[in-house]
């Protein structure tokens, strides 16, 4: 293809449909090459304004460092495992993907796995391939009249609920970040996790994988289940404890399982694959012609918007359009504050205030409200959260959001606070600021306690009654668990009153270690957050 030096250069690194290329529209110098050829990628990047990839092209710090003109990397798919989003953000490069392209495909696969598990499709098919005609062995169970528990009522969970309701199933759900009234409008009854396990004939998982959801369904939950439970996981591996699932399948407490995802992939050595009552697929949730086409078209539209300087709905790291330079450095901090807020709350807040104080309040700070909401919902829905859909997610959950500004900030040049009211009337708050010429991120307040802590990748917060010896106990337990403390802040409202320990640690704190700490120090609340 002939180069056009007067036009923005769009590199296409992997095979995309003609419709995807057409969606870019005129006015671009489109160049194709093989993204698996590392030398070709690095050679082409210095002239690139945009890069379109699928999953095979590795876009890392080295590649981004050779692309001074690059403004956007677009992944024609849902995941971003092959794109270093942090390095792109530091380089000022927008990263986009196609978060909604696969929602229908993923929902349909979950339903297909449930049907296949209920009717023993996989072992019956294998038997017939062996030229056996054994109808007696493969008696199944109907879905009509049964109860299905949806674990995670995000976009895909809702689609699955709608489809299974059409089968005549009663739908219940567990999702602490969806209010009961919203679910009732869809004909879904919200319940606790234990109740969901006790009442369901089938459970379908549609949660994101976070520190709180890893191992969420384990031996204790299977012990609550009705004998003969059908289990489907087409969301993320690791949410279901695979060893516990194996035992439950062998014991018959779980009648059958349909799995599209695993703790470690490729999962060709998983012992679950040896069981006749498991139907499994190799992570095919997005693998339909329609989903791939939607993903390509969405990525092309995002490139067009990004290169024209417009708002890009599917941006995962920076917003398109005009944002004051004084505000840009605070956007990643505010997203982190949103994620910390959600972890502290442990549920959906009825009201969230985003308070912006100081010099930046003189600018249009709407983007900080959007960044806060993006962070609030990032770890609680199984869909990508963007600057465009974050307010919609809040509205769907009945969350009232207010943006408050004040040019006065007594203690900091600029201060951003997220403050929310929970269902029981209690409140949660977290504040942050940027300090020094390097604009370093700092947490300066958590739940009303003053702190001074970098919001590092792994954090933990412990709320307890002030008394001697607690810090030593915490350090000892973490040390025995091999978790190294990078920073620690202890704050209290008064001597002998309420106290808070804020920790930054070098690795994630396992759930069992958190529970050990909670018991040992008689903590009112313990929370771990992985940013």
From 71, 155, 236, 458, active-site residue? 236
Gap between the Cα atoms of 464 and 492, Å rounded:
9
From the number of C-beta atoms within 10 Å of its C-beta (0-12, 13-18, 19+), residue 377 rates as buried
Q: Comparing C-alpha atoms, which of 171, 296, 166, 286 is closest to residue 234?
A: 286
- Strands 229-233 and 254-259, bridge-based pairing: parallel
Gap between the Cα atoms of 91 and 94, Å rounded:
9
Assess whether 236 carries a catalytic annotation: yes
Contact 94, 310 (CB under 8 A): no
> How many helices (H) does the chain have, and how many strands (E)?
17, 22
CA distances from 504 to 21, 438, 485, 528 (A): 45, 20, 6, 10
Q: What is the phi-psi region of residue 496: left when phi exceeds 0, alpha when psi lies from -120 to 50, beta otherwise? A: left
From 283, 301, 339, 419, active-site residue? 283
From 132, 265, 290, 512, active-site residue? 265
| Cross-strand partners of 151 | 174, 205
- Rg (C-alpha) for the chain, rounded Å, is 25
Residue 25 DSSP symbol: -
Would you call the peptide bond into 266 cis, given omega within 30 degrees of 0 as the criterion? yes
CA distances from 513 to 217, 263, 363, 502, 531 (A): 18, 20, 44, 16, 19
Assess whether 90 carries a catalytic annotation: no
Contact 373, 203 (CB under 8 A): no
CA distances from 470 to 445, 498, 513, 520 (A): 21, 13, 15, 9
Contact 502, 488 (CB under 8 A): yes
Contact 419, 340 (CB under 8 A): no
> Which residues have C-beta within 8 Å of that of residue 417, sequence separation ≥ 6?
353, 354, 355, 357, 429, 430, 431, 445
Q: Comparing C-alpha atoms, which of 411, 417, 302 is closest to residue 355?
A: 417
Q: Comparing C-alpha atoms, which of 452, 372, 371 is closest to residue 411?
A: 452
Give the rounded distance of the alpha carbon of 360 from its chain centre: 29
Catalytic amino acids? 236, 265, 283
């Amino acid at each position: 293809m002939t180069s056009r030096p007067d036009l923005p250069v769009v590199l296409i690194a992997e095979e995309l449909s003609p419709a995807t290329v057409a969606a870019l529209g005129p006015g671009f110098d489109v160049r194709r090459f093989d993204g698996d050829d590392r030398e070709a990628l690095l050679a082409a990047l210095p002239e690139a304004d945009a890069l379109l990839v699928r999953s095979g092209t590795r876009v890392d710090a080295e590649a981004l460092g050779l692309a001074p003109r690059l403004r956007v990397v677009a992944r024609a798919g849902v995941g971003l495992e092959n794109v270093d989003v942090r390095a792109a953000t530091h380089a000022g490069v927008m990263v986009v993907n196609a978060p909604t392209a696969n929602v229908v495909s993923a929902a349909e696969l979950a339903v297909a796995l449930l049907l296949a598990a209920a009717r023993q499709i996989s072992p019956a098919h294998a038997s017939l391939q062996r030229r056996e005609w054994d109808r007696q062995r493969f008696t199944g169970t109907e879905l009509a009249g049964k109860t299905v528990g949806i674990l995670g009522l995000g976009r895909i969970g809702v689609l699955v609920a709608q489809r299974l309701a059409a089968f005549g199933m009663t739908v219940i759900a567990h999702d602490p970040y969806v209010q009961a009234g919203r679910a009732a409008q869809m004909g879904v009854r919200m319940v606790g996790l234990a109740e969901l396990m006790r009442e369901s004939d089938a459970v379908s998982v549609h949660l994101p994988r976070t520190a709180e959801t890893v191992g969420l369904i384990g031996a204790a939950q299977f012990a609550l289940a009705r004998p003969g439970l059908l289990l489907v996981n087409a969301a993320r591996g690791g949410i279901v404890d695979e060893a516990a699932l194996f035992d439950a399948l062998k014991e018959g407490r779980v009648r059958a399982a349909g799995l599209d995802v695993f703790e470690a992939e490729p999962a060709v050595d998983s012992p679950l694959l040896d069981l006749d009552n498991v139907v499994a697929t190799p992570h095919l949730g997005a693998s339909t012609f329609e989903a791939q086409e939607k993903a390509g078209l969405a990525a092309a539209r995002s490139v067009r918007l990004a290169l024209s300087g417009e708002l890009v709905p599917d941006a995962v790291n920076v917003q398109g359009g005009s944002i004051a330079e004084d505000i840009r450095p605070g956007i990643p901090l505010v997203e982190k504050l949103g994620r910390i807020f959600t972890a502290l709350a442990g549920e959906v807040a009825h009201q969230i205030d985003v308070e912006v104080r100081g010099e930046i309040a003189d600018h249009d700070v709407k983007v900080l409200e959007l960044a806060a909401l993006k962070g609030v919902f990032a770890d609680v829905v199984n869909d990508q959260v963007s600057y465009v859909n974050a307010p919609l997610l809040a509205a769907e959950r009945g969350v009232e959001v207010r943006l408050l500004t004040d040019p006065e900030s007594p203690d900091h040049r600029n201060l951003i606070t997220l403050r929310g009211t929970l269902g029981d009337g209690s409140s949660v708050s977290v504040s942050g600021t940027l300090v020094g010429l390097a604009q370093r991120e700092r947490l300066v307040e958590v739940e009303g306690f003053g702190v001074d802590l970098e919001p590092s990748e792994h954090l933990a917060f412990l709320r307890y009654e002030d008394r001697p010896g607690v810090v030593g106990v915490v350090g000892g337990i973490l040390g025995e668990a091999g978790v190294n403390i990078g920073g620690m802040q202890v704050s209290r409202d008064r001597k002998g009153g309420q106290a808070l320990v804020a920790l930054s640690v070098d690795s994630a704190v396992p759930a069992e270690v958190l529970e050990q700490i909670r018991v040992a120090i008689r903590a009112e609340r313990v929370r771990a957050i992985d940013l």
